[in-house]
Structure formats: structure tokens, C-alpha cells
Amino acid sequence: MSDPAFSPGGEHALPAEALRDVELQARLELGRARLPVRDLLRLGPGAVVELERLVGDPVDLYVNDRLVARGEIVVAGGSFALRVTEVLPPDAPA
């Protein structure tokens, strides 16, 4: 009798359902900026920090510090959200 937890070839088979409750760290990167410390210390309410991206440029989605998708910021139900426009292959450069 074969064990259903193992697949031929010696690899473990894991049903996708088993991963539903696994927590991952996800972050969106809108852009980056380089500031000298003196400028950083001057920031206050209403300050504007210019990013290297333009309006309409895609936003990067990282999961566990790995770039996995790109998309655009949208408003959904009164909150900001990400509309995924491109899912990157696992071997894509960051």
C-alpha cells in the first residue's frame, strides 16, 4: 500500500488546501527616494518626498522579499488596493 503523502520520485505531495492558513509578509513598493539625513530630519506633516517613479508606473508586489507581481493602485470599497496586472515567473530577476 502506498502512502498518499508521498509522490513517485520521492517528493512530498502537499495539497494546496494545507497552505491556506500560512502567513506571508507582503509589501507594495510605490517607489524609492534617496535623502540626506539632514533632509530626512526636516520632514514633517505635509512634506512631500519625490519618488523615482511616475504616475501610472506599475507598483511592485513583494512576498517574503521576493518580487512576485506588478500592478496598479486602485480604490476598492473606500480603501486602497492593488490590481495585479502582471504575475512574474519564479525565476524573474528582481
- CATH code where residue 35 lies: 2.30.330.10
14: in domain: no
Domain ranges, residue 73: 24-87
Q: Tell me how far CA of residue 56 lies from CA of 26, 49, 70, 83, in angstroms.
A: 21, 17, 12, 13
DSSP label of 14: -
What pLDDT was estimated at residue 1? 47
> pLDDT digits over 46-67, tens only?
999 999 888 888 999 999 999 9
Position 94 confidence tier, pLDDT thresholds 50, 70, 90: low
44: in domain: yes
17: in domain: no
61: in domain: yes
pTM: 0.65
70: in domain: yes
Position 28 confidence tier, pLDDT thresholds 50, 70, 90: very high
d(CA 44, CA 64): 30
What pLDDT was estimated at residue 19? 82
| 25, pLDDT greater than 60 | yes
